[in-house]
Chains A and B, each alone.
Chain A
Amino acid sequence: MSSHAASSHTSAVVGHEAAHDPNLKHHFENADQQKESASIGMWVFLLTELMFFGGLFLAYFVYRQWYPAAFISASNKTDVLIGAINTTVLICSSLTMALAVHYASLGKKQLLVFFLIATLLLGGIFLGVKGYEYHDKWVHHEIPGEHFECEGCQDAGHAQLFFSLYFGMTGLHASHMIIGFGILLVLIFQANRGDFTAKWYTPVEMFGLYWHFVDIVWIFLFPLLYLIDRVGRPLL
Chain B
Amino acid sequence: MPDQSFQLFPEAASSIAGQVDALYAFMVLISALFSLLIAFLIIFFAIKYRHRPGIKPTFKPADDHSIGGMVLEIVWTAIPLVLSMVMFVWGVSIYFTQSRPPADSMEIYVTGKQWMWKVQHMEGAREINELHIPLNRNIKLTMTSEDVIHDFYIPAFRTKADVLPGKYTTEWFKATKTGAYHIFCAEYCGTKHSEMIGTVYVMNEADYSQWLAAGSGEGSMAEQGQSLFNQLGCGNCHASAVNNGIGRGPNLNGLYGSRVDLKDGTAVKADESYIRESVMYPQAKLVAGFDDVMPTFKGLISDEGMLKLIAYVKSMGLKQGAPNTVPPASVTTNSTAPTAGRGAARAATPVTAPTSAGNK
List residues of chain A with CB under 8 Å of any chain B CB.
67-70, 154-158
5 A-B pairs with CB atoms under 8 Å apart are A155-B283, A155-B284, A156-B283, A157-B281, A157-B284
In the bound assembly, the distance between CA atoms of A155 and B292 in angstroms comes to 10
Known A154-B292, A157-B296, A157-B298: A68·B264 in contact at CB below 8 Å: yes
In the bound assembly, the distance between CA atoms of A60 and B323 in angstroms comes to 44
A residues within 8 A CB of B280? Answer: 157
For the A-B complex, the count of residue pairs with Cβ-Cβ distances under 8 Å equals 22
In the bound assembly, the distance between CA atoms of A68 and B284 in angstroms comes to 8
In the bound assembly, the distance between CA atoms of A68 and B281 in angstroms comes to 13
- Nearest B residue to A72 by beta-carbon distance? B264
| Contact B298–A69 (Cβ < 8 Å) | no
A residues within 8 A CB of B298? Answer: 157
Write the nearest CB–CB distance from A2 to chain B, whole angstroms.
13
- Nearest B residue to A156 by beta-carbon distance? B283
Write the nearest CB–CB distance from B206 to chain A, whole angstroms.
47
| Contact A157–B283 (Cβ < 8 Å) | yes
- Nearest B residue to A155 by beta-carbon distance? B283
In the bound assembly, the distance between CA atoms of A69 and B285 in angstroms comes to 8
Given contacts A69-B283, A156-B283, A157-B283, 14 further A-B contacts (CB under 8 A): A67-B284, A69-B264, A69-B284, A70-B283, A70-B284, A154-B283, A154-B292, A155-B281, A155-B283, A155-B284, A157-B280, A157-B281, A157-B284, A157-B296
Write the nearest CB–CB distance from B58 to chain A, whole angstroms.
15
A residues within 8 A CB of B286? Answer: 69
A residues within 8 A CB of B296? Answer: 157
A residues within 8 A CB of B281? Answer: 155, 157-158
Write the nearest CB–CB distance from B299 to chain A, whole angstroms.
11
In the bound assembly, the distance between CA atoms of A156 and B281 in angstroms comes to 8
A residues within 8 A CB of B264? Answer: 68-69
In the bound assembly, the distance between CA atoms of A183 and B292 in angstroms comes to 51
In the bound assembly, the distance between CA atoms of A154 and B292 in angstroms comes to 9
In the bound assembly, the distance between CA atoms of A158 and B298 in angstroms comes to 12
In the bound assembly, the distance between CA atoms of A69 and B286 in angstroms comes to 9
Q: Which one of A70, A154, A155, A158 has the greatest number of beta carbons of chain B within 10 Å?
A: A155
Q: Which 4 A-B pairs have the closest CB atoms?
A: A155-B283, A157-B281, A155-B284, A154-B283
B residues within 8 A CB of A155? Answer: 281, 283-284
In the bound assembly, the distance between CA atoms of A157 and B299 in angstroms comes to 12
Write the nearest CB–CB distance from B132 to chain A, whole angstroms.
37
- Nearest B residue to A157 by beta-carbon distance? B281
In the bound assembly, the distance between CA atoms of A68 and B268 in angstroms comes to 14
In the bound assembly, the distance between CA atoms of A69 and B284 in angstroms comes to 7
B residues within 8 A CB of A69? Answer: 264, 283-284, 286
Q: Which one of B264, B281, B283, B286 has the greatest number of beta carbons of chain A within 10 Å?
A: B283
In the bound assembly, the distance between CA atoms of A60 and B284 in angstroms comes to 17
A residues within 8 A CB of B283? Answer: 69-70, 154-157
Write the nearest CB–CB distance from A63 to chain B, whole angstroms.
12
